[in-house]
Chains A and B, each alone.
Chain A
Amino acid sequence: MTDKKISPLTKKRYASEKRFKVYCVTALVLAMAILFTLLSSITVSSIPAFTQTHIEIDVYLDKEILDPNDTNDLQTILNEGPWRSLAKSSLREMIPGVTARKEKRELYGLVSIIAGDSIKSYVKENPNNIGKKVQIDIPSSDDIDLLIKGLIDRSLPEENRTVSNLQLKWLDQLVYEKRVSKHFAWKLFNHGDSREPEVAGLKGAIVGTLLTMFVTLIISFPIGVMTAVYLEEIAPSNRMTDFIEVNINNLAAVPSIVFGLLGLAVFIGYFDMPRSAPLVGGIVLALMTLPVIIIATRASLASIPPSIREAAYGIGASPLQVITHHVLPLAVPGILTGTIIGIARAAGETAPLLMIGMMAFIVDTPHKITDKATVMPAQIYMWANNPERSFESLTSAAILILLIILITMNALAIYLRKKYERRW
């Protein structure tokens, strides 16, 4: 039987089977490859943003200059001290012989324009060092930072790069003197937004996101769960209930930008709520998250077998007691999973927040839900639009941080589902 001829038709069919399988595998591999490319390209381009170049400069904290009126009051010194010019004169002393105006400008361009503030915060922490000569690490300017990280090509002709030959010479000298160092960029987490990439951080956006999510959660969670319980357990099946159900399913598919228009017209236009505030952003996102929570909660309630309810009724529980004492506790894992997924989705949403102005340039960290604020995705959008080169890696870093938060939330939801999932 071994030499039995396989008919050409069968051969063709097997070939087609193989081809089909190859197509399927290709599709899957393609999808995975895209995911890999996306994550790796963002990770790679974010790496430079996590370190920051510092230059150590010698500063003579002259008491005469800092406190000319001899007040001896630290607060006055901090408020009125000539920090900027102190930074400049320290630089000039460190690299002598710079007199021409253009050269001076290049010299000051080595360090960040907030160099004065760095000295100020040093003095704030070490007030006893006033009158001494100290060495202070201050952040370099973003061009120098890029150069040290190897992102600016030294071999280019001078007019094609943002760092001049003179700056290169000084920098090499500073590197030789071991004054240039790279630190982890903590400013990402303890600084607000800024036009200067070397000081721009995410603190304001992270706090804004937390405030917005807080509003979203306290509105959408109770309302979502109550709606789901009502529709699944209490509501009589009539036209009204059907109508509500259709409504919720439709809301789940409404484009997010339309919710933004709703927020703009109703909450800002009619109710006169503050623009750019986590309050309005939170309400808009809550309305968007509501269908997600309702659908998840209903699925979770529906999976609880009727026997539990019947047993509870059998021993004399009232309808509400059946729900609160027996059904809801069993549905909690499913409800939490749905809520976490809904909130994670809301935390990554940008478009509706653009409509209500949550992409304003805000340096201060918001404290209340009515303060002006921005959120992580909006911050990413703003940075992505910034043409300065350093913002590219900064944007990637912000994306990476956001993705880590969101993937953690989703993983938590999957873990909860796996751990507490019960088959009846």
Chain B
Amino acid sequence: MSIINIYMIVLMLLSISSYFYGRNFIKTKTFVSTEKQHSKDTYHGAFISLYLILPSIIFLSLWVIISPNIINELLTIKVISVYGDGLGIDELKILKSQIIALSKGVLSADNLSSEISLISDYYSYIQIISKKIYIIFSCVGSATAFLYARKKIAIRFNARANVEIIIKLIMMLASLIAILTTVGIIVSLVVETIRFFGIINVADFLFGLKWSPQIAMRADQVANEGLFGAIPLFAGTLMITTIAMIVAVPIGLMTAVYLSEYASNVVRSIAKPALEILAGIPTVVYGFFAALTVAPFLRNNGADLGLTLSSESALAAGLVMGIMIIPLISSLSDDVINAVPQSLREGSAALGSTKSETVKKVILPAALPGIVSAILLAVSRAIGETMIVVMAAGVTANLTANPFESVTAVTVQIVVLLVGDQEFDSAKTLAAFALGFTLFIITLGLNILSIYIIRRYREQYD
């Protein structure tokens, strides 16, 4: 067990015992006094315990965020001081990963030079030092805070308000995690994407018609330059998404209309949970269904009709993705249709229209902004969907408009580029991040558009 784990456990025990210490401390004070205690004992205990533990946790998060950077810098300096300035970036990377692997015990020192094992000892040493620095800092911080809290505790001290402020602060910090996640996504994607565009031209990526990211190992091999034109991927994703929407929008929408306008309670009580089951099925299962059942079915029937279908046709992937999207569209449109006020239906019926006329001429127009935004959400879901296309669509980029042929998609290429061992800095890996960033931007745009449509066109009826 690492020294940090032991420290954390000790800290936990200390903070629990300090809670009881605080309670007893204020009890004995009140016992010998005639004044009335301001806050309950428990608040005093919580106050002192929070003060004890918070500095350590703050230092811990700082240490976790900052120390990898510093250690990395120190290692680089050390490697350069041993090997001299002449090292290329790649050599430096390889050396560093060897050193780290050695210090972790993944690599044995037998075949490596003595310099490496020397630096690896140094690396282990600075890691231990960094842990020690953290522990010293947090010990001092916690002890100071504890003594301060102990001094503050008095019979008329408003411990409750103080504890509540701290807890509110903690809650506020928790709510910042969501922002941190977004920042993390954007920063990590943007940084890698910029590095990718340092190697590959932006225009080549966005408008290139050829995608073959396999870079040959030796320079004298043919096609040693990977081609990173993303148009075939966008086209493939677009085609699969279109097929999915052609399947999902009518079925989902009609189902929603039927369930909210026609269906009896019995039908609704069966169909709604069934749709929820459909929505809860993991995408890997849909992918398996597409590859195992739908694709062979289409291929056999296509052969009977005289069509040649690829076994990884866009059609199979699109159909199954459409099935996956049905519950999303139907449940979102169901909500929107139900939100149309009853008075509109009654008014339409009073004018003598049939139910279908009411639906077509009154309800759907009234619900249109909501339905459009639901469809946009579904599109963004389909574009970002991974497992179905990974399992049912192809891997090779193929710029075609024929849905019976095999196409590939953006998400498929991200998986293909990143699964398996890879170096962190090759153009291939970076290309995956550039694709991910494109994906992020497109889905974000669709979501913002869908929110905008709702806000702009929704009519308030009540």
CB distance from A222 to the nearest CB of B (A): 7
Size range of the chain A interface in the assembly: 35 or more
Complex CA distance for A253 and B252, rounded to whole angstroms = 19
Q: State whether A350 and B251 are in contact (beta carbons under 8 Å apart), knowing that A247-B182, A257-B415, A262-B188 are contacts in the complex.
A: no
- Identify the interface centre among B171, B263, B284, B419: most chain A CB within 10 Å of its CB: B284
Q: Please tell me if the beta carbons of A348 and B178 are within 8 angstroms of each other in the complex.
A: no
Shortest C-beta distance, B161 to chain A (Å), equals 8
- Residues of B381-433 contacting chain A, CB below 8 A: 381, 383-387, 390-391, 411, 414-415, 418-419, 424, 432-433
Binds A, one of B128-136, B145-153, B214-222, B289-297: B289-297
A320 to B288, CA, bound (A): 49
For residue A392, CB closer than 8 A to chain B, the reply is yes
The answer to whether the Cβ of B336 comes within 8 Å of any Cβ in the partner chain is no
- Complex alpha-carbon distance, A265 and B286, angstroms: 28
Is the CB–CB distance between B184 and A266 below 8 Å?
Answer: yes
Is A217 interfacial (CB-CB < 8 Å)? Answer: no
Partner of B387 from the list A30, A347, A381 (CB cut-off 8 Å) is A381
How many angstroms between the C-alpha atoms of A257 and B437 in the bound complex? 11
Q: Does B459 contact A (CB under 8 A)?
A: no
Q: Within A7-36, which residues are at the interface with B (CB < 8 Å)?
A: 13-14, 16-17, 19-21, 23-28, 30-32, 34-35
Of A34, A249, A257, A385, most B-chain CB atoms within 10 Å: A257
A6 contacts B by Cβ under 8 Å: no
Contact of A230 with B174 in the complex, beta carbons under 8 Å: yes
Total CB contacts across the A-B interface at under 8 A: 264
Q: Are B64 and A271 in contact (CB under 8 A)?
A: yes
Q: Which residue of A lies closest to B263 (CB)?
A: A28
The interface residues of chain B lying within 8 Å CB-to-CB of A345 are 280
- B262 within 8 A of partner (CB): yes
Q: For A271, give the chain B residue with the smallest CB separation.
A: B68
Across the interface, do A359 and B419 meet the contact criterion of CB distance under 8 Å?
yes
* CB of B170 within 8 Å of the partner chain: yes
Interface size class of B (residues with CB under 8 A): 35 or more
Of B64, B168, B261, B271, the residue contacting A320 (CB under 8 A) is: B168
B377 interface residue (CB < 8 Å to A): yes
* A229 interface residue (CB < 8 Å to B): yes
B340 at the interface (CB under 8 A from A): no
Contact B178 A254 (CB under 8 A): no
Question: Which residues on the A side are within 8 Å of B444 (C-beta)?
Answer: 250, 253-254
For the complex, give the distance between the alpha carbons of A272 and B418 in Å: 17
Known contacts A38-B289, A226-B171, A226-B174, A407 near B277 by CB under 8 Å: yes
Determine the main DSSP class of B at the interface with A.
Answer: helix
Scan residues 219-265 of chain A and give those whose CB is less than 8 A from a CB of chain B.
222-223, 226-227, 229-231, 234-235, 243-244, 247-251, 253-259, 261-262, 264-265
Q: Complex Cα distance A23/B386, Å?
A: 31
Contact call A351/B387, Cβ cutoff below 8 A: yes
Question: What's the least CB distance linking A306 to chain B, in Å?
Answer: 20
Question: Which residues from chain B contact A270 at a C-beta distance below 8 Å?
Answer: 68
Contact of B386 among A269, A291, A351, A402 (CB under 8 A): A351
Per-residue CB contact flags for chain B residues 159-187 toward chain A (1 = under 8 Å, else 0) read 01100100110111011111101101100
Q: A397 vs B275: C-alpha distance in the bound complex, in angstroms?
A: 22
B436 at interface, CB cutoff 8 A:
yes
Determine whether the beta carbon of B356 is less than 8 Å from that of A16.
yes
Chain B residues, CB < 8 A from A227? 171, 174-175, 177-178
Closest to A35 in B: B278
The one of B189, B380, B411 that contacts A351, using a Cβ cutoff of 8 Å? B411
Q: Does A380 contact B (CB under 8 A)?
A: yes
B255 on interface, CB distance cutoff 8 Å: yes
A319 to B185 alpha-carbon distance, docked (Å): 35
Offer 13 A-B interface pairs, CB within 8 angstroms, sorted by A: A14-B354, A28-B254, A28-B267, A31-B251, A31-B255, A31-B271, A32-B274, A247-B182, A347-B282, A357-B419, A384-B391, A395-B288, A396-B288
Identify 17 new A-B residue pairs, CB closer than 8 A, beyond the known A231-B175, A269-B424, A384-B284.
A16-B354, A19-B356, A24-B262, A27-B252, A31-B271, A222-B174, A249-B451, A255-B443, A257-B436, A261-B188, A261-B189, A265-B189, A351-B411, A351-B415, A399-B285, A402-B285, A407-B280
The 5 A-B residue pairs with the shortest CB-CB distance in the complex, in nearest-first order:
A255-B384, A348-B282, A27-B254, A20-B356, A24-B258
Residues of chain B touching chain A, judged by Cβ–Cβ distance below 8 Å, are 64, 68, 100, 160-161, 164, 167-168, 170-172, 174-179, 181-182, 184-185, 188-189, 191-192, 250-255, 257-259, 261-263, 267, 271, 273-278, 280-289, 291-293, 323, 326, 330, 354-357, 359-360, 377, 380-381, 383-387, 390-391, 411, 414-415, 418-419, 424, 432-433, 436, 439-440, 443-444, 447, 451
